[in-house]
Structure 1
Amino acid sequence: MTKSTPPDEVRVLVTGFGPFLDITTNPSWEIARALPPDLQSSHPSSRIRLIVPASPLPAAYHPILAQTTALIDQHDPHLIVHIGLAVDRDYFAVEQSAAKDGYHDIPDVDRKVFTRAENKKVFGKAAEELRTALDLEAAVGAWQGACSGIVATRKEGGKKKKKTAKELARAVDVRLSDDVGTFVCGFAYYVSLLEMQKRWGRRDVVFLHVPRLEGAEEVRGGVEVTKALIRVLVEGQ
């Protein structure tokens, strides 16, 4: 990625989702809004600027389409990282692709779907599946290594216990996945992949699925995992 971006600043747009179903506090947004404005890069002359919107993406198809496109127009990012919650997982996973169709099946928080007719009108003859342009297989290996150095505090048996980096490396499970789904996560991913392809000719977009994190300490761990992923993606490891 760094070969096609300015050496002085890389703009990374990061989003999270708002409430849906019984999730009143969505950890994807809690992570996004807790990120710092900048990340230190291994390249002294390079700055990684994190752009987080003032509010989360609604878990609704039509607002996602409008807001995601507007955010890309406004910030012209080099990289987009969408974060979403996977309620059935206990690990972090970066997704490889998103489907064009299937968003007419599951109603969103507004009790609406993205109909087949709307899909045809908006996406036209775009590919049935879009994949990120980033080398995620290599990135995940580096990401796992980066997460092994994170030290966090978690509650265990009602008591706080500080884990060593080695212990946390086993606790923080980060993986490569290709199952973003056909709900709002997959929809946001597809929209951004398509928009970045139109603007840059490259699909420098990823979707990060996070587990259900509860409490400030677990969210802080999620923030560190997310920062590690962004660094790896920007620096092309």
Structure 2
Amino acid sequence: MSKHPRILLTGFTPFGDETINPSWEAVRQLHDREIAGHRVVARLLPTVFEASQRELEQAVQGIQPSLLLGVGQAGGRSRLSIERVAINVQDARLPDNEGAQPIDEPVVADGPAAYFSTLPIKAMLGALQAHDLPAEISNTAGTYVCNHVAYLMLHLAARRPGARAGFIHIPYLPAQAARFPNTPSMAAEDVVRGLALALEVAATHREDHRLGAGTLD
């Protein structure tokens, strides 16, 4: 393994009726890339509550990352959505890929109600926008497997001195969106460029920017 500090970057397997997941299509292109003195290690997580936790914990133990960034698909969103918070709730509208459908269950039984991202989300937002990439701060990562992994990343990072973590949702790829009228998408190369830029900012900024990016509803 490289002597560089490491970034754990994760994507998901397809779920629902999809045959691809844009998160993994983008994340795998950044595997083994050096970004701001860090080596990116990409891992594919199953869209399964229990198995994603087990595989994430194994990856963290093996890779010993200083930064963790989860990436997930959010069909219907039009921008790179930098998540502010992950909540300690599993409330699955549809079963995961192994048929599990937890409803109103905690991610971690004795964990806090929520974790805020420990990445510089406003600095990341500003950099993405400065490079003409559609981006936003999101205040909900949902209650499905994406939020499950986001919460677990922050929970694990909180127990590793100096480790920081966060999550980004990305839109459909154009090939996926073409099946649905008026559905936004983003080209894979733009997603990859955006993730690389977000990671560069995360790796080089300990203090966040003060930038208004909230919502009115």
Taking the TM superposition and a 5 Å limit, the aligned residue runs for 1:150-189 are: 169=132, 172-189=133-150
**Residue matched to 2:18:** 23
Higher helix share: 1
User: What are structure 2's unaligned runs of at least 5 residues?
Assistant: 176-185, 209-217
Superposition CA RMSD, Å? 2.1
Tell me the matched-pair count: 194
**Superposition deviation, residue 138 in structure 1:** 2.9
Higher RCO (C-alpha under 8 Å, 6+ residues apart): 1
Q: Bigger radius of gyration, 1 or 2?
A: 1
Point out where structure 1 has 5 or more consecutive residues left out of the alignment. Answer: 1-7, 42-46, 149-168
- Per-residue CA deviation, residues 166-186 of structure 1 (Å, 9 max, x unaligned), is xxx2xx311111110000100
Q: Distance in 1 between matches of 2:12 and 2:56?
A: 12
TM-score (norm 1): 0.75
Alignment map for 1:34-113 (pairs within 5 Å): 34-41=29-36, 47-53=37-43, 56-103=44-91, 106-113=94-101
Distance 1:184 1:91 in 2: 20
State which drifts further: 68-77 or 132-141. Answer: 132-141
C-alpha separation in 2, matches of 1:75 and 1:185: 21
Letter paired with 2:195: T
Residue of structure 2 aligned with 1:210, choices 157, 160, 170:
170
Partner of 2:122: 137
- Shift of the alpha carbon at 1:102? 3.1
1:10 pairs with 2:2? no
Q: Structure 2 length normalisation: TM-score?
A: 0.81
1:84 is paired with a residue whose SS is: strand
8 A contact 1:27–1:214 mirrored in 2: no
Matched residue, 1:194: 155
SS of aligned partner of 1:16: strand
TM-fit CA distance, 1:40: 4.5
